[in-house]
A and B are shown apart, each in its own frame.
Chain A
Amino acid sequence: MQFGSFGGRIRSPQDAAAGVFLVAVAVIALWQGAGLAAGHLNQLGPGMLPRALAVLVGICGLALAVGSFFTAGKGLERWTLRGPVLILGAAVAFGLAVRPLGLAVAGPITMFLGAFASPETRWQESLVFSLVVTAFCVLLFKFMLGLPIPLAPWLLGY
Chain B
Amino acid sequence: MELFDHLALGFATALSLQNLALCFAGVLVGTLIGVLPGIGPIATIAMLLPLTFKVDPTGALIMLAGIYYGAQYGGSTSAILVNIPGEATSVVTVLDGHQMAKQGRAGIALGIAAIGSFIAGTIATFIIAALGQPLTRMAMLFGPAEYFSLMVLGLAFAIVLARGSVLKAVGMIVLGLLLSTVGTDLETGEERLTFGLVDLSDGIDFAVMAMGLFGFAEILRNLENPESRDVVKSAIGRLLPSKADLKRSLGPILRGTGLGALLGILPGNGAVLGPFASYTLEKRIAKDPSRFGRGAIEGVAGPESANNAGAQTAFIPLLTLGIPPNAVMALMMGAMTIHGVIPGPQVMTKNPSLFWGMVASMWIGNLLLLIINLPLVGLWVRFLKIPYRLLFPAILIFCCIGIYSINNNPADVMFTAFFGLAGYILYKFDFEPAPLLLGFVLGKLLEEKFRQALVISRGSFVTFVERPLSAGLLIAALIILVIAVLPMMRKEREEVFQE
Which residues on A are within 8 Å of B, measured CB to CB?
14-15, 17-18, 21-22, 25, 29, 32-33, 36-37, 41-47, 49-50, 53-54, 56-57, 60-61, 63-64, 67, 74, 76-77, 79-80, 83-84, 87-88, 90-92, 94-96, 98-99, 103, 106-107, 110-112, 114-115, 117-118, 120-121, 125-126, 129-130, 133-134, 137, 141, 145-149
Cα A21 to Cα B393 in complex, Å, equals 30
Report the minimum CB–CB distance from B172 to chain A (whole Å): 9
Q: CB distance A120 to B393 under 8 Å?
A: no
Report the minimum CB–CB distance from A110 to chain B (whole Å): 6
With a cutoff of 8 Å between Cβ atoms, the chain A residues found around residue B50 in the complex are 141, 145, 147
Q: CB distance B54 to A146 under 8 Å?
A: yes
User: Cβ of B411 < 8 Å from any Cβ of A?
Assistant: yes
Report the minimum CB–CB distance from B81 to chain A (whole Å): 22
Q: CB distance A29 to B193 under 8 Å?
A: yes
- Write the B187-230 contact mask toward A (1 if CB under 8 angstroms, else 0): 11010111100000000000000000000100110011000000
User: Cβ of B262 < 8 Å from any Cβ of A?
Assistant: no
Contact of A137 among B54, B401, B430 (CB under 8 A): B401
Cα A118 to Cα B220 in complex, Å, equals 10
Q: CB distance A36 to B190 under 8 Å?
A: yes
Top-5 shortest CB links A-B: A42-B459, A95-B413, A46-B185, A18-B429, A60-B171
B398's nearest neighbour on chain A, judged by CB, is A137
- Write the B164-202 contact mask toward A (1 if CB under 8 angstroms, else 0): 010110110011011001000101101011110000000
Q: CB distance A92 to B393 under 8 Å?
A: no
Cα A37 to Cα B192 in complex, Å, equals 10
User: Cβ of B371 < 8 Å from any Cβ of A?
Assistant: no
Q: CB distance A141 to B414 under 8 Å?
A: no
Which residues on B are within 8 Å of A, measured CB to CB?
50-51, 53-54, 165, 167-168, 170-171, 174-175, 177-178, 181, 185, 187-188, 190, 192-195, 216, 219-220, 223-224, 387-390, 392-394, 396-401, 404-405, 408, 410-414, 416-417, 420-421, 424-425, 428-431, 447, 451, 454, 458-459, 461
Contact of A129 among B187, B188, B393, B399 (CB under 8 A): B393
Report the minimum CB–CB distance from A26 to chain B (whole Å): 8
Q: CB distance A83 to B216 under 8 Å?
A: no
Cα A47 to Cα B401 in complex, Å, equals 36
A126's nearest neighbour on chain B, judged by CB, is B393
With a cutoff of 8 Å between Cβ atoms, the chain A residues found around residue B429 in the complex are 14, 17-18, 21
With a cutoff of 8 Å between Cβ atoms, the chain B residues found around residue A25 in the complex are 175, 178
Cα A112 to Cα B397 in complex, Å, equals 10
Q: CB distance B401 to A129 under 8 Å?
A: no
Report the minimum CB–CB distance from B245 to chain A (whole Å): 40
Cα A36 to Cα B326 in complex, Å, equals 31
Q: CB distance A83 to B223 under 8 Å?
A: yes
Report the minimum CB–CB distance from B82 to chain A (whole Å): 18
A-B contact pairs, 5 of them (CB 8 A): A46-B187, A91-B400, A94-B397, A94-B400, A110-B396
Q: CB distance A57 to B178 under 8 Å?
A: yes
Cα A76 to Cα B425 in complex, Å, equals 12
Contact of A115 among B194, B389, B420 (CB under 8 A): B389
B447's nearest neighbour on chain A, judged by CB, is A49
With a cutoff of 8 Å between Cβ atoms, the chain A residues found around residue B168 in the complex are 18, 64
Cα A60 to Cα B424 in complex, Å, equals 20
Report the minimum CB–CB distance from B28 to chain A (whole Å): 14
With a cutoff of 8 Å between Cβ atoms, the chain B residues found around residue A33 in the complex are 192-193
